[in-house]
Each structure stands twice: as structure tokens, then as C-alpha cells.
Amino acid sequence: MRLILLGPPGSGKGTQAQRLVHRHGIVQLSTGEMLRAAVAAGTPIGLQAKEIMANGGLVPDEVVVGIIADRIEEPDAKKGFILDGFPRTVPQAEALDDLLRKKHLKLDAVVELRVNESALLARVEKRAEETRARGEEVRLDDTPEVLTKRLAQYRSLTEPLIHYYSERRKLLTVDGMMTIEHVTREINRILTALGALEPKDHEDHAPKAAKKAAKATMKASKKPAKKVAKSAKKAAKPARKAAKAPSKTKAPKKTVKKAAKKAVKNAASAAKARKGAKTAKKAAKKLTKKRAKR
Ligand code: AMP
């Protein structure tokens, strides 16, 4: 499995990456961690990055791309990896696409952890407190001033990646305001439904129909409302059928029903959007008529 975790500082990327590592035995590749190690070791890259990081800026693209290109060549990354904090700019994402293409590797998904900005400062302060309590050194950039800068960088340089990956149908968004446990469960559920993860024996199996529904949800971010409604409905159909049918498949009805419900919900919101567009069209027509009369 090859996965990107995307989200602003304090959104929980590191925490979730560690949980995925723990469960699936793949490596976490955090450019932030690697750069901090380089700073601590005083390597040439570390010396170059130190000041930039302390000020909440971004290390040049070619530096981080070089780090990642070397790192994914290592044997422990063969089984898969979770990228945490990389890519952070569109050129980095393009470089990653090139790297993977050359190695004939596929990116399974990009999981965006969406959080309210107002919660981030409190989260980063908590992280600093916990680090202090463990007797470890607090990150120089975990201060309110630097966080403000890092957030501004995220908005202008990293947020465009949401569009980049949604266009490529790789983006999945998870509500990062839920509890850590809930977010983990949601990520695992999505990845299992996409076929990126093997379900654990004691867990719900996501059948083909649920998989299809998850894929429809992924595509939804790109298609126009009408198409979304159609494909979500189409995807929901076999899921609904499977939910009704006597359990021929291994999948518990609950999972299938849930997937069907979600797909139907997508269809409903797309239909709502269509209705809104219709009303707007009608209003525009009325206005044109009125003007013509005048
Ligand atoms: P993080 O631990 O991911 O919050 O990263 C800490 C700092 O390392 C960031 O604020 C940047 O200065 C630098 N950094 C980490 N990853 C990247 C990247 N992909 N591109 C540029 N700078 C990065």
C-alpha cells in the first residue's frame, strides 16, 4: 500500500501514520522527521533546512524530493509506505508522480484529514506539552507565531494538492475532528473498501458492491452533480441488492447497507445540487423576461 496523508500542521497526520504503521507493517516516511534528524546531525541538508524550518518556511522542493527519492529505494519501503508531510507543493507532487511512474508503482490513495483551523493551535500546544512531559525537546516550530506562518504556507502552497489529487481521483477526505480512534477506523474502512488493505479476520469484510460505492464517492469530487448522482445510484444498487439478499457473500449485511446508504446519500446531495441549479435557471429566465418587457 502506498498512501499520502495530507493535512495542515496539527491535523493528526503523524499520529495516524504511526497507527497505520503499527497495524500494517509498512513504513512511515515523514520529511519533517527526516529533516529534523538532518538538523540534529548537522548534515549539509540539515544546515540548509535549520533556519527555514525554525521560521515555518518550506525547504526547497529539490531537497525534499531528493530525500524521498533515496528513501523509497530502501528495502523497507518495498512493501509500501505512508508519506507524511510530503508532498507539500504541486511541483513535489509532480516529482513524486514521476518517481512512481519510473518505478512502475501505483499510489493507492491520498487521505486528507480535514480539521477546523481554530482547533489547530490548541492541538499543537498540547503536542508541545506532551513532549515536555516526556522529557523530550519541544519542536522549535510548535509555537503560536510559527504555526501561523506554517498555516499560511499550507493554505497557499499545500492546499492546491487537494484539487491536484481530486482531479486524479485519488483524494479521500476524512473528518479529522473526530477522536483519534474514530479517524483511524474511518481510514482503515476506506482503504479496505478500496482494496488497498486486506480486511482483518475479525473485522467486517467490504464486499465488491461496497468497494464500488467507495470508488463512486472518490470520483464524486470531480464529476458534475448529475453524473455523480447517476454513478452513486448505480454503485448503490448492487450494494442494496446484496443487503437484501440472503447472505450468499461473506460480507455482513451491516457493511453493505452502510455503503449503500452512503452512496444513496451522495446521490441525494447531487440531486439537491441539481434542484438548486434548476431553481437558479428559472429565476434567471424570469429576470430576462421581466427585462424584455421593460
Ligand atoms: P512537519 O514535521 O511535517 O510539520 O515538518 C516540519 C517542517 O519541515 C516544515 O514546517 C518544513 O519547514 C519542513 N518540511 C517538511 N516536509 C517538507 C516538504 N515536503 N517540503 C518542504 N518543507 C518540508
**pLDDT tens digits, one per residue of 124-141:** 888 888 888 999 888 888
DSSP letter for 159, please.
T
pLDDT band at 72 (very low <50, low <70, confident <90, very high): very high
Residue 7 predicted with pLDDT over 80: yes
H or E element: which one contains 111? strand 109-114
Lowest mean pLDDT among 143-152, 174-183, 213-222: 213-222
pLDDT of residue 205: 45
Residue 65 predicted with pLDDT over 60: yes
Cell representation of residue 11: 491535523
Mean pLDDT of the 254-273 span? 45
Q: Ligand 1 pocket, 5 CB below 6 A?
A: no
- The ligand 1 atom at the shortest distance from the C-alpha of residue 68 is 19
Residue 67 CA to ligand 1 centre (angstroms)? 12
Residue 269: partners with Cβ closer than 8 Å, 6 or more residues away: none
State the average pLDDT for the chain. 78
Core vs surface per residue 155-194: b (16+ CB within 10 A) or e: eebbeebbebbbeebbbbbbebeeeeeebbebbbbbbbbb
Mean pLDDT of the 99-106 span? 94
Q: Which of 52, 61, 88 should be mutated for ligand 1, with most atoms under 8 A from CB?
A: 88
Which of 34-48, 186-200, 249-263 has maximum average pLDDT? 34-48
pLDDT of residue 263: 41
Q: Which of 15, 30, 31, 147 should be mutated for ligand 1, with most atoms under 8 A from CB?
A: 31
Whole-structure pTM value: 0.70
Q: Ligand 1 pocket, 9 CB below 6 A?
A: yes
Q: Ligand 1 pocket, 124 CB below 6 A?
A: no
- Among residues 2, 36, 88, 170, the one annotated as catalytic is 88
Q: Ligand 1 pocket, 14 CB below 6 A?
A: no
- Known catalytic residue at 114: no
65: alpha, beta or left? (left if phi > 0; alpha if psi -120 to 50)? alpha
Residue 211 CA to ligand 1 centre (angstroms)? 34
Q: Ligand 1 pocket, 240 CB below 6 A?
A: no
Distances from the Cα of 265 to the Cαs of 96, 236, 288, in angstroms?
34, 10, 35
Distances from the Cα of 45 to the Cαs of 34, 53, 140, 157, in angstroms?
10, 12, 18, 22
pLDDT of residue 23: 86
- Among residues 71, 114, 139, 208, the one annotated as catalytic is 139
Mean pLDDT of the 144-166 span? 94
Q: Ligand 1 pocket, 88 CB below 6 A?
A: yes
- Known catalytic residue at 88: yes
**With the C-alpha atoms ordered 4, 10, 16, 21, is the resulting torsion angle positive or negative?**
positive
Q: How many CB atoms lie within 10 A of CB 202?
A: 5
Q: What share of the chain is helix, strand, coil (3-state, %, to 5)?
A: 65, 10, 25
- Known catalytic residue at 123: no
Can you tell me the distance from the alpha carbon of 200 to that of 99, in angstroms, rounded to the nearest whole number? 31
Residue 198 predicted with pLDDT over 90: no
